Amino acid sequence: MKKVLILCTGNSCRSIIGEAVVNKELNSLGIKAFSAGSNPSGKVNPNAKKVLQSNDAWSDDYYSKTIDEVDKEAPFDLVITVCDNAKEACPMYSGAKKQVHLGFEDPDGKDYKAFEDIYSIIEEQLIDLVKKELS
């Protein structure tokens, strides 16, 4: 099983959506995703949960967590930071075989349509990136 860690700051929207999308789409290929935040909010954004549920990608195992909480899963084959570089500082993770950045705009505070849009963008871009980096 190859392991992917998806990091952002709050671990309430983008990284959890990324974790869910990778697990939904790539688990059959032996890839498992985890997510964490450098300053986790402590909750999953309700619209993030709703968009994951509507795309049959939600699991009650998903929650907002610290990097320390996912360390028990290390080493990771790939770490992906998903913060929007223009607005946020992405966390670094030293225990990765490979680390890449793929920034997504934070939908937090926006309407549900923004979450649908970011889900589609994450699904389109993240799956291809993970496949490329882990092949």
Structure tokens given for 68? 């320390």
Catalytic residue from among 6, 7, 8, 78:
8
Catalytic residue from among 5, 90, 96, 102:
90
76: phi then psi, degrees, rounded to nearest 5? -100, 140
Q: What is the DSSP letter of 53?
A: H
Compute and round to an integer the Cα radius of gyration of the chain: 13
Alpha helices, DSSP H only, in 3-111?
Answer: 14-26, 46-54, 67-70
Catalytic residue from among 22, 33, 80, 83:
83
Residues 112, 113, 116, 117, Cα dihedral to 10° = -140
Give catalytic status of residue 13 as yes or no. no
Q: Which residues are catalytic?
A: 8, 83, 90
